[in-house]
Structure 1
Amino acid sequence: MTPKKIHEVGNFADYVDRLASDISDDIGGDVTHFVDFGSGQNYLGRALASASYNKQIVAVEGREHNIAGAREFDIMARLTERPKVMRNKKLYMQQLNSTVPEDQLNKKALKQLATPPKVNDEYVADFRSLRELQTIYKPEDGKGFIRYIDSRLESGDLADVVTQLRDSLSEENQEPKDLRLMAISIHSCGNLSHHGIRSLILNPQVQAIAIVGCCYNLMTERLGPPTYKLPYMRPSLQALNGRIIRESSRHDPHGFPMSDRLCNYKDMGIRQNITARMMACQAPQNWTEAESDNFFTRHFYRAVLQKIFLDRGVITKVHHDGEKPSPAEEEAEDNANSNSNSNSTSTDSPFNSSTKPVIIGSLRKSCYKSFTSYVKGAIAKLTTHDDYHEQHCAVIQEKMGGITDEEIARYEQDYLPRKRELSSVWSLMAFSAVVIEALIVTDRWLFLRQHADVRKCWVEAVFDYQQSPRNLVVVGVKKRPES
């Protein structure tokens, strides 16, 4: 684990252990199982299952390779073991050698292939590799235990998880008792945090939650379609390469805001566009000079690429007053784009015009080594990625396929003087991070407060901000069940 992950897992495991002990009287007994939402490599669950915590963990993860990797770490932590396989070593080596081309084998291997070992006709060879052998988990009294459930959570309803847990307990000859679950998570991304919080309301077995969120930019929007511009200042245009299902029809009930208070605030509700949610992920207090430069460079590259899209006809400019600018105004606007001191007309005011969004998302690290690499990496993704409709891929390929390195370099040179301007604006925006994150976390707290069966709820910091800035845990505890 990285130093950051060690800090998070160590502090949160201790916090969850103390919290479970403190609330046992409130919920009518000890927490029987801890459900880790999006457990990933299960660092948190493994820590809680180990001495001295010895907790019963239900690790819910939707990616099989993460579960496989977590099981390998469980073996290293001695929480489980692989079955021991007794086999004929010579026969096993011959089987391995048979899968290798003969020209790549040494003399010893060729000799082994030529003289197969004699074995009993009734002998059944086991040629599975170590990684193919299923790990053995044996529950023991007084010791922690991990159960993995392969499930991609789309809501806070844990009915399927609870059913699988009960089945697992029955198979282990443990009498399925009254389950008192606590939902936990370190840095569950986007809506997964919402699912964890809602699980307290939707499942009678869940008695408490402790959820640390992150990746606020991945949250969806409950009050309308995805917004790329300030929703009260100008229209929200749909992305050129939006998902195949039109995003304009989406009002995701799992998105932000969760609480009735923010949904109904001044009748319109409170919304956050993608830029605001992305700002909530920042920690400008922790930025170093190098990190700042990388951050601003990425946004500079993206801004110039948008200009290239506009010039080459991939996207168009929309004037919100409905008036099409005259050729003279268009020329003046183009001049203003390359000269920040030029006077803009009312028609080309930034509050009167927008360009259609284009979703690029993350690129490989190598794409950020130069602007040319960035442009080519973005084009490659936009024309080949499965998430994008073939029609949009074809348009981008037609408009952008012939761009040369010289053209790309010329755009970078022309707009490089404005990078400082962009950096200043992004710096001012980034300082809103704590305000936006506070609003998101307050919304989650208000959601718990509005439900009568929640006895108490609160938010507090569990990590050192310098080491892990997404450090706010949302805690909720149900009222004690009536006997």
Structure 2
Amino acid sequence: MGPESALPCSPEFESSEQYVDSLLDFIGSNELLHTLCGGVHVLDFFTRKPDLYTLVIAPEWRSFFRAHDIMDILDLLMREDLQIFDQRPESWREGPVPPETLLQYIKQIRKLSLRREHTPINRKDEKGSNGPKTTHTLARQVAVGMNVKKIHEVDNFCRYLDKLTTEIAELADQEITHLVDFGAGQNYLGRALASEPYNKHIIALESKQHNIEGARNWDVLAKLAPKQQIMRNKKEWRTQRDAMAEQGISEKEFSKLDLKGERGFHAEEPTREEEPTQQATLKISNEGVGSIQYVEHYIKDGDLSRVVPQIVDQSVVREKVISDLTSSTSAQPCSKQIPDNFVEGNLSLNSDIRALDPKLLVISLHSCGNLVHHGIRSLLLNPSVSAVALVGCCYNLITERLGPATYKLPSLRSNHPRLDSTSSSHDPHGFPMSSRLCNAQTATGKGLRLNITARMMAVQAPQNWGKKDSESFFKRHFYRALLQKMFMDKGVVQQPQVEDVQGNNGSPLGWSAGGGTAPIILGSLRKSCYTSFLTYVRGALEKLLLDPIRGPDFAAKMSDISDEEISRYEQEFKERGKELSVMWSLMAFSAGVIEAAVVVDRWLWLKEQEEVKEAWVEAVFEFKHSPRNLVVVGVKK
């Protein structure tokens, strides 16, 4: 069961354990990696003295980068066959060859980054295992609402999970009865798994009621569930509508209130305050052999003790439907009287319909932050969970176990009660999970720590950068960094202090360095603002001046800046825009090993548990379509 190698690492390593040793040694000791992934931020590219580029990048590297186009540099980092340099050529792409130290760094990053190649799985009703690649096989109505990326993810993950459940049943002698989707959202994955040809029984866990209602609306659009029929007293409804119209409420707004059951024209559902705190919302859907059960549940630690008792046996539910039809008609029900599509409603959770001994596979598709950690821990916290298969994303939302939390925007701490109360806490649910990483010896002490900047870099996908989109976001980074320089010169933010730059056990810019100018929350701007640096500055100031708190300070210090002064800034720093692009490329490329550390930590935790029989990691999507394409799998003994 599972791939030949438990981790998709380079074939240069004899075993997964040898790879982990090498990965932790490099991350724990390489100062340049610490600097590029966690020690610097492009926001302060023009505000530090000495400047970041000169401080971080070696002189021979800078000379090489100066002589080559940025797209050639990206090719060198990620695509060029480095063996050509073994022949010691005199030039490369009409310029100097890379310095040996740069080549060694590139080789090490490539070697330690996890392999991301994906081998498609043929669906069980397709012939052969080595046939030609096919387009997605989701039925058109099942794929409703999905974009191309989501279709690729759902289609491939459905095939993978179907294969996995079959292997667990055959090789581990555990028949999976239900798949529990952590954070189901709009339930695209569950809807596909419950439909032909997979026909799985899905428990869709979602903490937000509006997401559950949205998912059920997609069920209707996909023609997998009937549209809700609302019975009204039309005369009373018109009277209420006219009364609302006199109060200025339009018919459209009134209809929304009516659909929520707030006007008494149909059976009302209890409000959230009236619902028992220990009872999650249950909604049953059934189509053919597969089924979907929606459960409103807030996932905070992987404990499903409130959810498991609510799981129903769909065969019993169907028998109940037949029985109800039989008792409500004088004639024996024919097959046409039994619904061919979903059976909806809030069923009484008694022992007659509960699943007696469910065997669960916990799944997730791009669960953010700690949600993957909760899913992995559910394997131990719940006797009924037999296996997990989880694809994570958004590493920047992971909390930190070994130290106080770091945030993308530290200035929010004083304005947000939750962040303020947890700013000095160590989260037991955060990174790292495994004892191996908690006890790893690094240059900064015991335990591997990744700050918010390092984790944010880990979600980059530089292998997918093309010329056009690269130029676009390189320009955006340049504009934002230069605007920060203007803020500093105008006194909006203070220049970083010398002691901010130094520190972290002697490292000039290490992992725990906190130096830098204060963050200015700008957010997105109109597309037209990126036409030039002048339009960018004007668009940013227009937005910032409207801020009720910071607006007066910006008005006092920035409102008199002229177009000529803005243009002078752009001309003065224009040549350094390429340096920023090189730095950002190195940061994103290097962060491949940071993502590897996060994924390996989850695998190591599973390996450390006595109850776990097998654990592995493999790619389940094409990287070009979905860069967060690694699934972490664990199967219980």
Contact 2:179/2:362 (<8 A) preserved: yes
What does the per-residue CA deviation read over 1:20-59, in whole Å, with 9 as the maximum and x for residues that have no partner? 1110255554212111111111100000111221211111
Matched, 1:253 2:392: no
Q: Which stretch of the first structure deviates more once superposed, 220-229 or 358-367?
A: 358-367
What does the per-residue CA deviation read over 1:57-83, in whole Å, with 9 as the maximum and x for residues that have no partner? 111122332222111011122332234
Unaligned regions of 5+ residues in structure 1, if any? 106-123, 230-237, 324-348, 385-393
Query: Which residue identity lines up with residue 249 of structure 1 in the other structure?
Result: S
Query: Which residue identity lines up with residue 360 of structure 2 in the other structure?
Result: L
Contact 2:501/2:509 (<8 A) preserved: no
Contact 2:440/2:446 (<8 A) preserved: yes
Residue 302 of structure 1, aligned match among 480, 488, 494: 480
Partner Cα separation in structure 2 for residue 380 and residue 26 of structure 1: 64
In structure 1, the partner of 2:411 is 240
Q: CA deviation at 1:414?
A: 4.5
Contact 1:40/1:70 (<8 A) preserved: yes
In structure 1, the partner of 2:384 is 205
Q: CA deviation at 1:99?
A: 4.5
Matched, 1:276 2:276: no
Matched, 1:10 2:181: no
Q: CA deviation at 1:319?
A: 2.1
Unaligned regions of 5+ residues in structure 2, if any? 1-145, 251-262, 269-280, 313-345, 503-507
Q: In structure 2, do the counterparts of structure 1 residues 52 and 259 end up closer, same or farther at CA, with 3 Å as the change threshold?
A: same
Query: Structure 1 length normalisation: TM-score?
Result: 0.74
Query: Structure 2 length normalisation: TM-score?
Result: 0.57
Residue 447 of structure 1, aligned match among 581, 599, 605: 605
Matched, 1:418 2:593: no
Q: In structure 2, do the counterparts of structure 1 residues 378 and 356 end up closer, same or farther at CA, with 3 Å as the change threshold?
A: farther
Query: Which residue identity lines up with residue 411 of structure 2 in the other structure?
Result: L
What does the per-residue CA deviation read over 1:213-272, in whole Å, with 9 as the maximum and x for residues that have no partner? 11112212211124589xxxxxxxx93342441555122221111111011101611122
Contact 1:88/1:125 (<8 A) preserved: no
Q: CA deviation at 1:101?
A: 6.3
Query: Which residue identity lines up with residue 288 of structure 1 in the other structure?
Result: G
Query: Which residue identity lines up with residue 460 of structure 2 in the other structure?
Result: Q
The alignment partner of 1:45 has SS state of helix
> What's the RMSD between the two structures over aligned residues?
3.8
Contact 1:372/1:405 (<8 A) preserved: no
What does the per-residue CA deviation read over 1:152-180, in whole Å, with 9 as the maximum and x for residues that have no partner? 32222222222443696835941431121
Q: CA deviation at 1:199?
A: 1.2
Contact 1:240/1:315 (<8 A) preserved: no
Query: Which residue identity lines up with residue 318 of structure 1 in the other structure?
Result: Q
In structure 1, the partner of 2:516 is 355
Q: In structure 2, do the counterparts of structure 1 residues 150 and 415 end up closer, same or farther at CA, with 3 Å as the change threshold?
A: farther
Q: In structure 2, do the counterparts of structure 1 residues 24 and 168 end up closer, same or farther at CA, with 3 Å as the change threshold?
A: farther
Query: Which residue identity lines up with residue 306 of structure 1 in the other structure?
Result: Q
Contact 2:231/2:266 (<8 A) preserved: no
Residue 147 of structure 1, aligned match among 285, 293, 316: 293
Q: In structure 2, do the counterparts of structure 1 residues 372 and 47 end up closer, same or farther at CA, with 3 Å as the change threshold?
A: same
The alignment partner of 1:249 has SS state of coil
The alignment partner of 2:294 has SS state of strand
In structure 2, the partner of 1:292 is 470
Q: In structure 2, do the counterparts of structure 1 residues 374 and 172 end up closer, same or farther at CA, with 3 Å as the change threshold?
A: farther
Q: CA deviation at 1:425?
A: 0.3
- Aligned residue pairs total 413
Query: Which residue identity lines up with residue 16 of structure 1 in the other structure?
Result: L
Contact 2:522/2:544 (<8 A) preserved: no
Partner Cα separation in structure 2 for residue 136 and residue 153 of structure 1: 18
Q: In structure 2, do the counterparts of structure 1 residues 135 and 258 end up closer, same or farther at CA, with 3 Å as the change threshold?
A: closer
The alignment partner of 2:488 has SS state of helix
Q: CA deviation at 1:208?
A: 0.5
Q: Which stretch of the first structure deviates more once superposed, 215-224 or 295-304?
A: 295-304
Query: Which residue identity lines up with residue 410 of structure 2 in the other structure?
Result: A
In structure 1, the partner of 2:175 is 30
Partner Cα separation in structure 2 for residue 139 and residue 104 of structure 1: 37
In structure 2, the partner of 1:235 is none
Partner Cα separation in structure 2 for residue 467 and residue 277 of structure 1: 21
Matched, 1:406 2:561: yes
What does the per-residue CA deviation read over 1:350-376, in whole Å, with 9 as the maximum and x for residues that have no partner? 789932552738536659645236634
Structure number with higher relative contact order (C-alpha < 8 Å, ≥ 6 residues apart): 2
Q: In structure 2, do the counterparts of structure 1 residues 171 and 406 end up closer, same or farther at CA, with 3 Å as the change threshold?
A: farther
Following superposition of structure 1 onto structure 2, how do residues 261-272 of structure 1 map, counting pairs within 5 Å? 261-266=436-441, 268-272=446-450
Query: Which residue identity lines up with residue 614 of structure 2 in the other structure?
Result: K
Query: Which residue identity lines up with residue 404 of structure 2 in the other structure?
Result: P
Contact 2:282/2:296 (<8 A) preserved: no
Q: CA deviation at 1:420?
A: 1.5
Residue 159 of structure 1, aligned match among 284, 300, 305: 305
Partner Cα separation in structure 1 for residue 374 and residue 615 of structure 2: 16
Partner Cα separation in structure 2 for residue 374 and residue 59 of structure 1: 43
In structure 1, the partner of 2:227 is 82
Partner Cα separation in structure 2 for residue 377 and residue 172 of structure 1: 62
